Chains A and B, each alone.
Chain A
Amino acid sequence: MCKNHFNPIHCIIPPYMLTRLMESGNKKIADLAINSNFRSFRFHNDRIFFQQSSLHEKTILGLIAKQTGKEIMQMEVYDCKQKTDLAGATLLWDSKTNQKLTSVAGKNVIKGGKASWDFYWQLFGRNSIDNKGLLIRQYVHYDKGMDNAYWDGRRMVYGDGDGMVFTSFTSDIDVIGHELTHGVTENEANLDYENQAGAMNESFSDIFGIMIKQRFNNQDVKKSDWLIGEKVLIGPKYALRSMKAPGTAYINHPELGNDPQPATMDKYENLPNTQSGDWGGVHINSGIPNFAFYVAAYNIGGYAWEKAGRIWYAILTDSSLAQNAKFIDVKNLTIVHAEKIFGINSPEVRAVKQGWTEAKV
């Protein structure tokens, strides 16, 4: 008898022998053999499935226990005092001492940073930007009237806006989630920041940025306005981007003119891969995969992060996603992951395919 079992039939038995035992006249032996055959079938299929799943897929599916729960967010917020010297910025707040703040921008980035950390940790078991508990460093009041926010490879930096066209870039949680997600992407797929891969890099930041905001505000796909930065760009009719209708975030804006984002691949902008060409239009053409995600998430319904978010996180953390991936590569991977997570003929897979079809990818 196998020393790990009390039932000899649970040990390794050749299939022909198991078949004979299932047909045994002894009911007890036949029942055990049928039971064993069923277990073997399930075990075999489970093993194949697990072998083909990545670590992150297993985490998403709840197949790996989340980390112990001892991990806590670590964050520091610095005040640049309207200068550009990041090294000379003053520490305004840190998560260890959690001192009181009067700076609105400081409060905004703490709120957005916490919402982002919670999103990645509570949904995907991801411990910060690098999944190793990286200290989140955020710099506010950068430069005089700076109308921008960026991720420099180590930290997030926010300007106060010029006060006429733009207000503080800390005003919207989705912008903060966008910048933090650049760090996540850099630690995962590390997509090239040019052409289609660069537009995907931007799109991942918008997709996770909007979901971080939706989750913070408890908004489902119907309640959300799917706008990025609607407070940052001054004026009730304006936002920085629209995922629901790329190209409509601002129309006839007195300073900016019209939102240049396309929603579909036939309108893809072939821009030069230069500074002035936005590295091949990474902030322009991101409208296409943004729209694909919006359609997929909307058609799936409910909260975007629960299903569509799982699929897109699985791609972002899939080691087979090439650094120079094109939209079609991402499309194919979303379908593969949707099939793995929800089943081949599931409504989720149909919604994902519909999203890419609508975006004409």
Chain B
Amino acid sequence: MEQLTHRPTPLSDTPNTYCPGCTHGVIHRLVAEVIEEMDLLQKAVIVVPVGCSTLAVNYFSFDSVQAAHGRAPAVATGLKRSLPDNLILTYQGDGDLASIGTAEMVHSAIRGENISIIFVNNGIYGMTGGQMAPTSLLGWKTETSPYGRTVEANGYPIRVCEMLSQLNGPALLVRTEVVTIPGINKTKNYIKKAFTAQMKKMGFSLVEILSTCPTNWGMTPVDSLKRVKEETMKYYPLGEFKMAEGL
């Protein structure tokens, strides 16, 4: 019988313990497929953040470095300056990247640091139990915005790609989604371009991926996918905010 699919070798055989309906599993797989297809398994080092995806220390089969909350781009900087020919990527959620790690994210982009950031944005803190993130949409009820997020109290949600697009350092800034099949395919393509940008030493690359959190949103997985399409994507438009020539 013909084998139609297989576990990409950059994924370990440890079963993941992410919640049902969580898109981390999909995104992990996309990262792994790209690393395999680009033959980068032996050169890759991933910096794992603090959040749900800290669990990723167990899910990839290649070198992994666990970082403090928000500091992954600084850790990746130290790795990349030491290993300029390796693939250095960070995998960060929105609390990690857009709240506590804002400075490290912005300054690694300013430096045009040759690293790739996989930024998973579901608009909420997952691991700590559903607190408001800087990316939570206005009106969203969370553990720490029980009456709904307001502009008066919390300001507007941060659009990371738009903000970074003002800088010269980034070679690639895109926002994509993994709640539709075309979106998943596109996301994989963008991850490939990001890694290509890095291996060609073209500068900083960040792929923002709109995702879900059924558990902390209090929704079924199917309703969560719908929410991304109907709410999240309206505030966070998909697209290419920076795409260097030749990518």
Partners in one complex: no
A residues at B contact (CB < 8 Å): none
